[in-house]
Every structure is written in C-alpha cells, then in structure tokens.
Amino acid sequence: MIQQTEFKLIARRRGFHLVTEEIRRALPALPKVGVLHLFIKHTSAGLSINENADPDVRTDLNALFDRLAPERESYYTHNDEGDDDMPAHAKSSLIGFSLTVPITNGQLNLGIWQGIYLCEFRNHASGRTIVATIIG
C-alpha cells in the first residue's frame, strides 16, 4: 500500500522549529509497519531530525547556521527577495529537503530524544508545504 498526502505547516519565523506533532496530526492512519517519506516543496527551508527535549539545541543550531551563511555578503549575486534570500537557499541545501522515518506498530519510530524540525531560513516565510508518502 502506498498513500500520499500534501499539507501545509503553519507559518513560522526564522529558526529551527519542532513540528513532530503538527506532522503527526496531518497524516492519515499509519500502517503497522512501513516508511514515511517527507518532502518540503521549498528552496529556502528544510527538514531535519534532531533533539526534541532541550530548546537550546534549536537556538544553537540557528546561531551556527547564521554564522555559516550570513546575510549581506558581498559575494552574493542572488538577492531578489532580500538579504535573507541567498543565505536561506544555502542553508536549505546544507540541511536537505526530505526525511525518511520508519513506521513501527502504527507509529513513527523516532528515538526517545528525536523530533522532526522545520528549519525555516526566511525572516518572513509563509506556511510550508509538505508531501508525505507512506509506504506500508
């Protein structure tokens, strides 16, 4: 069985946001065993799995990525949508656009300290569209 659904995450400010529960609520009933593939349809945001307990991790990741790809660098030529435009594209390339999560006993089989992050790299983003493909 293969199912596919598309949904929108609520708009968030720039940063790393724990969205595991928002994604779970948007999914149909999961099979007993399978795989969930998530794909974000944007080039200035990404998806990641990381720490789900301590919010300092999200703060620190944001600070790290802002140092890796700062705004207003003289070597950027793509800045059509503002100072955060090119850095957002670079950051999303580093993080990636998709995740695969195992499904076990009808639940996402994440580790005890793992959660799904929306990595939002724009200062003023709209809601982000996710394609979820469930194989099971």
Identify the CATH number of the domain defined by range 2-135: 2.60.120.460
Q: Please say if the pLDDT value at position 120 is more than 90.
A: yes
What are the sequence ranges of the domains in the chain?
A: 2-135
pLDDT of residue 35: 98
Measure the CA–CA gap between 67 and 76, rounded to whole angstroms: 15
What average pLDDT does the chain have?
97
User: Residue 2 — very low, low, confident or very high, per pLDDT cuts 50/70/90?
Assistant: very high
Write out pLDDT tens, residues 64-89: 999 999 999 999 999 888 999 999 99
Going by C-beta distance under 8 Å and a sequence separation of 6 or more, which residues neighbour residue 107? 30
pTM of the predicted model as reported, rounded to 2 decimal places: 0.95
